[in-house]
Amino acid sequence: MRQIVLAITGASGARYARRLTQCLLHADVRVHLVISPHGARVLGDELGLRTVSAEALVGGPAHGVTLYRYRDIGARIASGSFLTDGMVICPCSSNTLAAVAAGTADNLITRAALVTLKEARRLILVPREMPLSTIELANMLRISQSGGIICPACPGFYLQPTTIEELVDFVVGRVLDLLGIRHELRVRWSPDPAAGEPRPTE
């Protein structure tokens, strides 16, 4: 069974975190979940969750999820000897982005992220903030140069989405692609040859 660390921090985008967790479980992935205090507040604000639990997050049974305490830097996912297939921070706040870029490890999320980098495993950060300052762009560059992947929550519109769920699925599908996890979410561009190329109006 594949093992993925998933961290939820205090940026808007709780729907992405919920859907990603659901899809990971559907793919029989073992999810090691950490939620920051600010992340818990966003889950309450955006999803109406009054208690922080794996079951509340996925909206049902969550037998494949292990929830860790935010300050427990002695947890097994804080050690490089615990084998995982990668880590995703979704959504990733600017504060967490800065902490990862600076190499601080004063909580389990940033510690696990730094372990993921040093072990040369896949680390994916999903920021949603906009616009971006020079500081945030520099932090993204530093993480990218260290082996991390910056995957902004920017849904595509070429599939002509009509619901919020389709927009969420697009972003989540791209994250799953980066993790190498098979899924059936609609993210693939497949032009219809019979339709021809659109012509610009005069």
Look at residue 193 and tell me whether its pLDDT is greater than 60: no
Q: What does DSSP say about strands 65-68 and 30-35: parallel, antiparallel, or unpaired? A: parallel
Look at residue 169 and tell me whether its pLDDT is greater than 70: yes
Q: How far is the C-alpha of 34 from the C-alpha of 131, rounded, in Å?
A: 27
Domains observed in the chain: 3-195 (3.40.50.1950)
156 secondary structure, DSSP code: -
Q: How far is the C-alpha of 174 from the C-alpha of 4, rounded, in Å?
A: 15
Q: Which pLDDT does position 199 carry in this prediction?
A: 57
Tokens (6 digits) for 191: 């032009």
User: Measuring CA to CA, which residue among 143, 180, 186 is closest to residue 4?
Assistant: 180
Tokens (6 digits) for 24: 């990971």
Residues of the chain above pLDDT 90, percent: 91
Q: Write down the pTM of the prediction.
A: 0.93
Lowest mean pLDDT among 75-84, 118-127, 128-137, 189-198: 189-198
Q: Which pLDDT does position 190 carry in this prediction?
A: 79
Give residue for tokens 């692609």: 177
Please report which confidence band the pLDDT of residue 197 belongs to, taking 50, 70 and 90 as the band edges: low
Q: Which pLDDT does position 200 carry in this prediction?
A: 61
Q: For residue 92, count CB atoms less than 10 angstroms from its CB and return exposed for 0-12, middle for 13-18, buried for 19 or more.
A: buried
Please report which confidence band the pLDDT of residue 91 belongs to, taking 50, 70 and 90 as the band edges: very high
Q: How many CA atoms lie within 13 A of 188 on its CB side?
A: 7
Please report which confidence band the pLDDT of residue 194 belongs to, taking 50, 70 and 90 as the band edges: low
pLDDT digits (tens, 9 = 90+) for 11-32: 999 999 999 999 999 999 999 9
Please report which confidence band the pLDDT of residue 173 belongs to, taking 50, 70 and 90 as the band edges: very high
